[in-house]
Chain A
């Protein structure tokens, strides 16, 4: 039987992502953007803006938000919700940081 912790996949070291930057993780079902804030917090969202599918990993990260590179929607990194007058939500995924490495919960990230 698998233990719960086995679903945390090590996707790489924190320092592989620049502060205030993002990189993607390709999974069979979807591409996930992993964001690193200026103070080394990590967040994971599906790499698709709820507006027109823009790659959020390419946006400018500020605070706990990212500006979509296509039409500048501002997406909250914590829950994927669009901010301001815009309505929509990018799916967010459990991610954690341990001893300088980033772990993504594949039981969620690989599910439907």
Chain B
């Protein structure tokens, strides 16, 4: 400011009358009430109100008057000239004035652009139809309330903060509401999948349908919206559609005035734009590459701007850490900072499945860098405060997750803590079993294992969360005589065994990885390479056709349908049904080997041909060529059916008793496709001379004059073991049925990565025999479940990938050529 200006009041124009503008003026008047004559142009025909409280207005919990920030009296008191409903259409920087849509021209000394943002409209057909609204201002809320008064169906597009608040409000107003969300989990920018899972449960509990991974294709209707069509072809009927997919800074005015803009209006740390007399604040701003859509950063900006306008020395705005709370009554959710995966050794997770609580604090170098809280958010602001301060939490790390109230105590060894508990302390919350009841049962009934305790007391039989507590009680009740033998936790992420996790997946109808981790109290947020593939398999096996396979929880071989080699290249093995091939197939294999410069072509032990040394990027092309000759994936990489080795059998062999080759081919065709706990190899021999070595296979069939002997549980790897006879059947059809039923029993009962022989020894051969050979209804049911599991998977994964599926696995993200020299300028 020059010396001459001091005598007269400067003219401050504010474009926009939202929360940022209101806060700037409040801060400014508190500091320098007489410095400026202020004029505000607000596009909305009303005073400044608290936009974030529109959700409670929609839900009927508040009225507009409750959320007004500055009433008319306030503007009068501060001599502010508020022009409601007056939109500025141009800024003339040279003349230092602005022009409004009605032609008014107003001069300024300093100008604040606080034009905020507008909702993004997704560009689909029908987006302009009456009945399609956004959720930004009071008019939108009134439109929604008017629509809701007629009942009917509402579709909310967008499962973020605003979308969910809109959905909750509409449901509260009696509309049948569906949320359509593009991403696999709700509020993915603020929540990890675990908290998102709990949130989705809570939203669904209110009768709101949630569709994730759902892309809106079109909005239907002629004169008014009638429905929404999704990309997968589903249509949802709708009387009201709310688009809440995000916001975009309003920069048009600034851009036309020639100010520097990118996503938002570019400002420096003093909120100054590229013109020294023009400032910008709020959601329209881009500061250090960041645009903000939450209120806290706007307030921080407003404070800096007001102080600088008031002529104070200010250090400048440096950006904001943000935290989020969802304003849906009854849903407690808090997220702040970097809630990213983190390092599982550097995060603290607390889950209480029964009360639906999940808390996760992410640390780095003994500082909190993020927090996600669900169900109990009382300590959210405490964590956020520690985060913003960068406080060292090393001292309180052990009790950090219990919150502020628990600081200062002496941490206890968990076993000692259990021993110190009173007899009536509740151990199992699900079934209400106290410590005394458990130790009493252990002594009087002579219990020695967790399973005994579960059977006798029900403790830890529902969610399994208290398993380690029950184990501690067993330990100190039995002393040295307690042995944990045979009980091995799945991995360091849980205290539960494979069998227990599997049991709970079925008994509690858990249908996703986050559901399993939350309801069973996982100790890490995202699992590890041991538990994730196992959970993925158990879920696939339990819910065929319903659970969606998680490629990222699979080992590379199963992800790219080839076998990784020591140099990072891959080998592929086409199916050769029963070990039988044709000249055409061999020619196609030879052509592929030549075209891709394959150095080693190897006949495998399973009667097929292995091509070694493919570059990963060549795989889809090689498969397309093999597919053209009728060859498909041999699944030589899969925890699934590998090969069925056969001898030539009765068709050629003078000793052959049955068509072992034919049976082998039929078995391979029937059994291939679905996943199993570990790889599965079969053999079919045409006579007891056993040329197909069927008696060291997972499942082996020995043909005899009277029919077929089915053998199981052989091994010829690290461990060598002859098979056990499961039983005898008379016909080929029976042989296929019994083998498939056995395979399903193995699929349902064995732990992940457990080979057949190992599982049979554990499960008991007699029990397997009873269930397959004697229980005819049980066997039929197994067969039926097996066939159901096959429906979802009987496609050639190679053909799918040759056609372009998961192309990202086979192509680099980018290939940068050497930089060519450029002549110096």
Contact = CB atoms under 8 A, between A and B. Distances in A.
A102 to B, nearest CB: 8
A76 B566 CA distance: 21
A62 B192 CA distance: 13
Contacts of B441: none
Contact of B341 (A39, A58, A98): A39
A18 interface: yes
Contact of A39 (B339, B552, B819): B339
Given A62-B526, A63-B525, A40 B340 contact: yes
A53 interface: yes
Contacts of A23: 808, 811-813
Interface in A6-55: 9, 11-12, 16-21, 23-28, 31, 34, 37-41, 52-55
Given A16-B808, A25-B813, A76-B343, A62 B566 contact: no
Contact of A63 (B339, B524, B811, B816): B524
A110 B568 contact: no
Which of B342, B526, B528, B814 has the most CB atoms of chain A within a 10 A radius of its CB? B814
Contacts of B718: none
B491 to A, nearest CB: 11
Nearest to B815: A26
Interface in A56-79: 58-65, 67, 69-70, 72, 74, 76, 78
Contact of A69 (B340, B344, B564): B564
B263 interface: yes
B191 to A, nearest CB: 9
B265 to A, nearest CB: 16
B297 interface: no
A62 B556 contact: no
A56 B559 CA distance: 14
A24 B343 contact: no
Contact of A60 (B553, B567, B817): B553
A89 interface: no
Which of B263, B552, B568 has the most CB atoms of chain A within a 10 A radius of its CB? B568
Interface string B519-550: 00000111111001100000000000000000
B717 interface: no
A3 interface: no
Contacts of B555: 60, 69
Nearest to A22: B813
Given A55-B568, A72-B529, A24 B812 contact: yes
Contacts of B340: 37-41, 64
Given A16-B808, A23-B808, A69-B564, A63 B813 contact: no
B818 interface: yes
Interface string B795-825: 0000000000000100111111111000000
Contacts of B551: 18, 21
A31 B347 CA distance: 31
B341 A37 contact: yes
Nearest to B362: A39
Contacts of B344: 62-63, 65
Contact of A64 (B192, B343, B814, B816): B343
B193 interface: yes
Interface of B: 192-193, 263, 289, 338-344, 347, 524-529, 532-533, 551-556, 559-560, 564, 566-568, 808, 811-819
Nearest 6 A-B pairs (CB), nearest first?
A39-B340, A23-B813, A20-B552, A58-B556, A11-B814, A26-B815
Given A62-B528, A69-B556, A99-B289, 8 more contacts: A25-B813, A39-B339, A60-B532, A60-B554, A63-B524, A64-B343, A72-B529, A110-B819
